Structure formats: C-alpha cells, structure tokens
Amino acid sequence: MTHKNNKRLIAVALLLLLLLIACGMGIGAVRIPPRALFSILAKYAGAGVASAHSDVQESVLLAIRMPRVLLGVLVGASLASAGAAMQGLFRNPLADPGLIGVSSGASLAAVVAIMSGAHFANVAGMSALSLITFTGALITAVIVYRISRVKGKTVVSTLLLAGVAINALTGAGTGMFTYAANDAQLRSITFWMLGSLGGATWTQVAGILPFTLIPVFAFPLMAKQLNALSLDEANAAHLGVPVERVKRQIILLSACCVGASVSVSGVISFVGLVVPHIIRMSAGPDHRTLLILSPIIGSALLVFADLFARTAFSPAELPIGVVTALIGAPVLLYIVTKEIKSRIPF
Amino acid sequence: MITVKDLSYRVSAALNLKRLSFDIRPGGITAILGPNGAGKSTLIKLITGVLQADDGNIFLNHLPLTYWRNTDGLAQIAAVLHQQHTLQLPFTVKEIVMMGRYPHFKTRETEKDHRIVEEVMQQLGVHHLSARNVLTLSGGEQQRVHLARVLAQVSGPSSGEPKFLFMDEPSNNLDIVHQHTLLHIAGSFARKGNCVLVVLHDLNLALQYADNILLLQSGSIKASGHPETILSDDLLSEVYGFPLSIIRTPHCRHPIILAGLNTEHQKQLSCNHFKNQEQCPILS
C-alpha cells in the first residue's frame, strides 16, 4: 500500500523536477519558451524538426543556462542525499553534512585561496579555487573521522563532538583571514560563503559529475542498513548489518559529494537539513524511499532557489544560500513544531 | 547449542566476570537470574558479540563467535532483544517488525515475510497498532513491538540447526498477560529445538517457565541447573541479600517464591551478602 504510494510520489517528484529544469532553462533576460527549448534540444539530438529558435537563444541555453541548471541539479542532489544519509547514520534528524567539517574545511581552504590570489588560476580548466576547496573539505572530513576512531570503531558521539570542535577551529582560521582581508577579497569571501551557481561552466559540471553521481546512486543501496541503524548500532549488527563498513562508506561518500558541491557553489545552507524532513513528512522515514526522493527534491529545490535568486531582483543576483535559508528555515520551523505535537500523545 | 568456556571480562573494579563455563542445550528456556550488577546483561552482550571477551571462548552451534562475526548468516538464526530502545525516527509498528526480516531478503520483502510479520504481530497483540507511529506508543506497547521484531527474525522454517533467541529483561514494562504470553511463545519456540537465553528479574516467572537456570552473583555462576532442583531458600536469600522463601502449595504446579518472610536464619544469610553488616536493610 505505502509502497505503491511512494512509487507515485517518486513519479510526481520527477515530473516536478523536469518542470523546474525547463523553467530554469527558459526563464531569464533572454526568454526561451518551451517550443524553442525543444527545438534546440532536438537539433542536438539530431532529429529533423523545423527550427523554432534564434541563435541567441541557442547560445544562451548552451553556454549559460544549461550548465547552471545542471550544476544546480548535481549540487542539490548531493546536499540532500548526504543530509538524509547523515541523519540516518547519526540517528539524529538534526544532522547535516556540515557536521563532519566538510563545509567549514572547504570555507577555510576557499578563504586561503582567495587571500593568496590562487583563485584566479586554472588547472586543466577547473578553477584552482574549486580544487583547493575540494581538497580542504576532504582533509577536514578525514581528520574528524580519524579522531572519532577508537579501537577500530567509529564512535558516533565523538564524531559529532570532533566535528563541532573542528568546525570551531576552522571557523577561527576563516575569521582570522577574513579580518586581514582587503575590501575586494572580503567581497569575494562573503559571496563564496553565501553560495552561488553563477558562472557555472561545463567543465565544472563534468568535474563534479563522478564525485556527486556515484554517492547519490550508492546511498539507496545502503537504505536497508540505515533503517536498521535507526534502532541503534548493536541492534543493526544483530540484524546482520556490517556497521563499521556502512559508517565508513557513508562518511566517505558524503564528504565526497558535499565537498565537490561546495567547491563549485560555495556554502549552500539548509538543503541537506530540510529536504529529508520534508520527505519524511509525506513518505515516512523508510530510507528506501527517502534516499531516492531526497536527491530529486533536493535538485528541484536548488533549481528553483537559483531561478528565484537570479530573477527576483534582476539584473541583481541574490546569493543562493540566502534563498535556500529563506525557504528552508520557515519550513523547518513548521515541521519541527508539527512533529513535536505528533510525538506527544493525547 | 551454546558453549561458553572460561569466559572472562572485566567490567570495572567492582565487577569481573571470572572464567565462566557452561553449556546451553536447545529445547528449553534458560533464564539468567541474579541481583542488579551481577553481570547478567554483560553476559548476554558477550555471547551476542556486542562486547568482546578479554579471555575465553564462545561457541554457537559448535562454531566460534569469531567465525560467526565474519558471516552474515548469524542474523538469520539469532535474534537479540536489548533492554533499551532508542529509536528516534517515526517508523510505523509494521515497519519496525519487518526489520526483523531484513536478514532474510535483499531489497524488498516477500509475501512470506509479510505473512510472518502479521503472525507475530497477532501473537504479541500489536496487530491493531500496525500502522501507528512507534514513538507515540506506551512503553509496554513499544516493548511488544520490539519483541515482535526479534521473534519475526527467528520465525520461519528451520534448516535443522538450532536457532537462538537472546532477551535481556523482555518483561520490562509488560502487563501480566503479556509477560506470560511472551514466555509462552518463547517456550514453544525453544521446544522446536532452539535455544532461548533470557535475563529475568521475576523469580516466579523463571520458576514457572525456565527449564534451566544460571544464577549469577558478582560475576560468577553461583548455581546452574533445573530451577526446582537447584533453588533453595538459603541460596536465594544469600544471593539476593534479602529473605526469600520457596513455597509449595497444592493449588499450583510450580513452587512460588515469596520475599520478606524473615526467619532468623534467613536474616543472617541475607546479611552475609553485605560486607558491612550495617548496610543490610533487614537489620535496620
């Protein structure tokens, strides 16, 4: 029964995502109506459809809109999937990928890159800023993970506390560099911290593709294990879950996809926290559905947020982190108050 | 078949499990008894691999625990109920019970898994709650849901090898009907040729249902064997540090244990339990 409903939910979510992708590609200073969109896509698919678009539309779509929307899809899917997996692993609905230090480590690395001027450089088409922040994200995640290993076991409470401590430490580092920054650097830092999909390129899309897609498709394979883990680690082990292996894989995969996302888009808050909550409200806590719906809804949310960010006050652009927080925070408040009511019987 | 050989584990300065050895044969319920802090839960955790022994060996069906730990086969034949449930996510009752079937299917449950889950939910009286959010249930109802989960895990056709059911104080929070239902179900599971090892606090439940008893005191086995042959007023009073009397009445197939009927001899025995005689609650 619920199983069938969840299939329908997944179909609806996919349709919503496709619709938002079409909007994201079509709406802007140069409008590309669905007919033109279709005509451009048909041209590249090699189908002989009568052309219904202009050259300007074609180049705007291919060079600007498409990579930007696709980047939004990948980043949104990563953040939401990793959020759902983390919440399952930590058995805590407040967990978020930032907890293992990925975002703060990436921030520190980004600030260092901006301050040293390295962010203007390019390595094989990828901006040095992306490469440096990705490295920073992975290094902090590994440090946090190593600290939490005691006698060959990952102690989740230590992992959380180590994450908080490392977040504070990298935060202090970031603050120190920010203090020493000049006005131009300060502006770059602030914009990076608030997140943006502006200036997306095909190279970026291709660059993060493996790092984001592999985790997003791997997480649902661990859904049953995460369900069992919600009982607790000992009980999951009694249900045949290789607990240590699952923990290691989830931390590694999350660090990988969140690190890749942060490296191209900056810090985008609240997606990883809110999306799994929204889904649990309608589809229940079963990770077999949650880990499939999360990337779809996460992508949809980010594509929508980006569309809003660049069109609401156009030609000015809002930082996307501001938009996701504006949408996410009230939704979270609503869910939290409702959840508390449902937990107190009578 | 469970074989424990020279098992040692240091919990704290106050509690050491010291070279425990015993066999548990399939076909009956074995109850672990003993006062708080005797090492009952620790023993269950050692046998189920949650804790690792400092020394000694544990064999399940003649294979060492280290062998079982490296396979996923153990979860198909052994289920464990611990004392505390710390679930935070709003799973439904049926989803939780279905988790007991996880070791038996890859990604999606089969018809057979549904049938078994429905059956154990009926047996434990949680069937009418099947679509409810577990977090909104009372303590006793939640306990029954988790009991249904572990029973579902070891239900279904047997391969001929004994299966294992480990329960740490399963009667926690249960009302009288469900305490007896539970032990009744555990008993019939055991009689199909399986091992049931259960920590009990209620001595009368143990006398009524257990085929075998391990009486623990400060980390050592004080007595083991059939309840009616090994238990005596003196032994119980000494181990628990409180006067306990075994009463036989013609109305009842099993003896009954009553607490607090003081004879001078029992008082003395109870107080031997305490190093400092003034701590003895009976003398004060």
CATH number at residue A338: 1.10.3470.10
Distance from CA of B179 to the nearest CA of A (A): 22
Question: Domains plus CATH for chain B?
Answer: 2-231 (3.40.50.300), 232-284 (no CATH)
Name the average pLDDT for chain A: 86
Quick check: A231 and B50 CB within 8 A?
no
Instruction: Please state the φ and ψ torsions of residue B25, each to the nearest 5 degrees.
Output: -90, 150
Phi, psi angle pair for B80, to nearest 5°: -130, 135
* Chain A contact set for B72 (CB, 8 A): 240, 242
Asked if residue A247 is part of any domain, the answer here is yes
Structure tokens at A282: 């309608």
Using pLDDT thresholds of 50, 70 and 90, give the confidence band for residue A66. very high
The residue type of B252 is: C
The model's pLDDT over A186-214, given as tens digits with 9 standing for 90+, comes to 888 888 888 888 878 898 898 899 999 99
Identify all chain A residues contacting B91, using CB atoms and an 8 Å cutoff: 227, 230, 284-286
Question: How many whole angstroms separate alpha carbon A209 and alpha carbon A216?
Answer: 11
A283: Cβ–Cβ under 8 A, 6 or more apart, which residues?
Answer: A5, A6, A9, A289, A290, A293
Nearest residue to A96 via CA among A305, A345, A325: A325
- The pair of structure tokens assigned to B29 is 């319920």
- What is the ipTM metric for this complex? 0.88
What are the pLDDT digits (tens) for A312-336? 887 888 889 889 989 888 988 887 7
Quote the CA–CA distance of A295 and A222 in Å, as a whole number: 15
Identify the burial level of B12 via C-beta atoms within 10 angstroms of its C-beta, where 0-12 means exposed, 13-18 middle and 19 or more buried.
exposed
Handedness of CA A141, A143, A147, A151 (dihedral sign): positive
pLDDT at A340 over 70: no
Q: How far is B72 from chain A (nearest CA, A)?
A: 5
Let me know if residue A264 belongs to a domain. yes
Q: In 3D, which of B144, B73, B171, B154 has the Cα closest to residue B116? A: B154
Closest CA to B69 of A152, A85, A146: A152
Closest CA to B262 of B283, B235, B239: B283
Cβ-defined contact of A286 to B95 (cutoff 8 Å): yes
Hey, are the CB atoms on A239 and B102 less than 8 Å from each other?
yes
Strand, coil or helix: B52: coil
B79 to chain A: closest CA residue: A238
Identify which of B2, B3, B8, B5 has the alpha carbon closest to the alpha carbon of residue B51: B8
The nearest alpha carbon in chain A to B72 belongs to A240
Backbone angles phi, psi at A259, to 5 degrees: -60, -45
In angstroms, rounded to a whole number, what is the distance separating the alpha carbons of residues B146 and A202? 51
- CB atoms A238 and B78 under 8 Å: yes
Whether A133 maps to a domain, the answer reads: yes
Which pLDDT score is estimated for A1? 40
Taking CA atoms, A65 is separated from A27, A61, A202, B136, in Å, by: 9, 5, 10, 47
Q: What does the pLDDT read at residue A28?
A: 86
Q: Are A295 and A80 in contact (CB under 8 A)?
A: yes
Contacts of A286 in chain B (CB under 8 A): 91, 95
Side-chain half-sphere exposure of A146, counting CA atoms within 13 A: 7
Cβ atoms B120, B148 nearer than 8 A: yes
Residue A267 lies in a domain: yes
Q: What is the DSSP string of A197-247?
A: -TT--HHHHHHHHHHHHHHHHHGGGGHHHHHHHTT-HHHHHHTT--HHHHH
Task: Give per-residue pLDDT as tens, A284-304.
Answer: 899 999 999 999 999 999 999
Closest CA in chain B for residue A227: B99
Q: How far is CA B242 from CA A336, B207, B254, in A?
A: 49, 18, 21
Q: Is residue A335 part of a domain?
A: yes
Pairing of strands B220-225, B212-217: antiparallel
In contact, B47 and B40? CB cutoff 8 Å: no
Please report whether residue A321 resides in a domain.
Answer: yes
Closest to A287 (Cα-Cα) out of A190, A192, A221 = A221
pLDDT digits 0-9 by tens, A10-63 = 999 999 999 999 999 999 888 888 888 888 888 888 776 777 788 888 888 888
State the residue range of the domain holding A296: 12-343
Look at A288 and B82 and tell me if their CB atoms are within 8 Å: no
> Could you give the CA distance from residue A187 to residue B171 in angstroms, rounded to a whole number?
63
Which residue on chain B is closest to A226 by alpha carbon? B99
In a domain, A5, yes or no: no
pLDDT digits (tens, 9 = 90+) for A8-22: 899 999 999 999 999
pLDDT in tens, A95-123: 787 778 888 888 898 888 888 876 666 66
Burial of A47 (0-12, 13-18, 19+ CB in 10 A): exposed
For the cut 50, the answer to whether the pLDDT of residue A222 exceeds it is yes
E strand map for chain A: 122-123, 126-127, 149-150, 153-154
pTM of the model: 0.87
**Is residue A344 scored above 60 in pLDDT?**
no
Is A51 a member of any domain?
yes
CB contact under 8 A, B82 and A234: yes
Q: Which residues of A touch B82 (CB under 8 A)?
A: 234-235
The pLDDT of residue A146 is: 84
Do the Cβ atoms of A288 and B107 come within 8 Å? Answer: yes
A-chain residues near B104 (CB < 8 A): none
Residues with Cβ within 8 Å of residue B35, at least 6 apart in sequence? B217, B239, B240, B241
Closest to A211 (Cα-Cα) out of A82, A120, A105: A82
Q: Using omega within 30 degrees of 0 as the cis cutoff, is the peptide bond preceding A315 cis?
A: yes
Q: How many domains does chain A have?
A: 1
Pairing of strands B195-199, B29-33: parallel
Q: What is the pLDDT of residue A97?
A: 78
Q: Is the pLDDT of residue A3 over 80?
A: no
Dist. CA A159–CA A147, nearest whole Å: 7
The pLDDT, as a whole number, for residue A338 is: 77
Cα separation, B44 vs B28, in Å, equals 17
Shortest CB distance from A235 goes to which of B82, B89, B95?
Answer: B82
The low-confidence residues of chain B, meaning pLDDT below 50, are none
State the smallest CA–CA distance between residue B232 and chain A in angstroms.
36
pLDDT tens digits, A224-263? 999 999 998 899 999 999 998 998 899 889 988 998 898 8
- The nearest CA of chain B is from the CA of A109 a distance in Å of 35
Under DSSP, the state recorded for A151 is: T
